[in-house]
Amino acid sequence: MSSEVVALGQPTVGEAELKAIAEVFASGWLAGAGPTCQRFEERFAAVAGTAHALATNNCGSALHLAMLTLGVEPGDELIVGDYTFPATGHAVMYPGARPVFADIRPDIWTIDPAHVESLITPRTRGIVAVDVAGQPADYAELRAIADKHGLFIIEDAACAAGASYQGRPAGSLGDVATFSFHGRKNITAGEGGAFTTDRADLVAHARKLHTYGIAPAVDRAASSALPIPEFDELGYNYRLSDVAAAIMLVQLDRLPLLLRARQHIAARYEHLLGDFELIGTPQVAADRTHPWQAYIITLNSGIDRGEVAQRLRARGVQCNFGTYASHVQPLYGKTHECPVSADLFGRHLAIPMHANLTEAEIETVAAAVRTVVTDVAQGV
């Protein structure tokens, strides 16, 4: 058993984040949706290439707000990219709609537009595309389908901060996009999320719903009167705290360097593992910028992934499965098959990917993958 552990994921945080937190403490406004959140929203909208951004307490709540503001109702169907953490499908179910899972491309693992079109019924209201591991889906094709059938597009950009598609930033590729700032994401406050859109009506409604159905307190703070809000719509507490927003402002400063570091690591892995015949390495579409939230290898069929994972961990190399084939999860009931997603769900393995990896750690990981996968394949 190795005494040194190479972490699967790790945030890049330090004194700058601590200083930003101290400034929020000194301001006296720590609660959600305050002035620091407003500053973060302005900056994040610029990163996402949209007119508006709303900070939320996580990506799941941002997805729920997307459903509500786009008018999703019980009985509606939304076509969802199958290969995703089930928070995506859960959000469709929150307002009583049904997720209909579409299979994925075998090369970049994002939703297959051809399968999407085959699943459209009179109940279909929209498409939820997932930017898998941060790589954007095929939004030109999806937009053509959506426009043809009168559907909206939600971009689940949970992993995609800093990504781009045909020169446009992730976050600007659907009618609404949602982001995650969970601890394993490229930029993080431990938890957190964002809702981005160009539509003023959607963000205004989302802002109301994310504060119990009333305007946030900061909007009333400057009033010389004593405005008393009235509750006329059921809302939620989906606000991001100003403490987390302060961390996120520093993380936005770090984003260009973090992206370059992850892209360098991905290139090194490709150099060290790209010719290894027992695995497949991730592919990047030519018209996309990949932010590498995760680095996922594909084991050849017949190789025991569980055994590989145990042996890698014994060597101090953390690893995990990629993400979920949502359609096989019991919550969603009986559904049609998504064979590409199901196959990759059983063969994908995420290996360490974060901006703090050293050259020595990258080489250690690659060497361990080669040795362990070869031994397991040969039954050694």
Contacts of 86 (CB under 8 A, 6+ apart): 324, 326, 329, 331
**Greatest alpha-carbon span in the chain:** 77
Distance (Å, rounded) from C-alpha 322 to C-alpha 264? Answer: 21
Clarify whether 185 is annotated catalytic: yes
Q: Are 79 and 120 in contact (CB under 8 A)?
A: yes
DSSP one-letter string for 277-345: TTEE-----TTEE---S-EEEEEPTT--HHHHHHHHHHTTB--B----BGGGSGGG-S----HHHHHHH
- Residues β-bridged to residue 325: 83
The catalytic residue among 19, 185, 208, 334 is 185
Cα separation, 166 vs 137, whole angstroms: 11
The type of residue at 143 is R
Residues carrying an active site annotation: 185
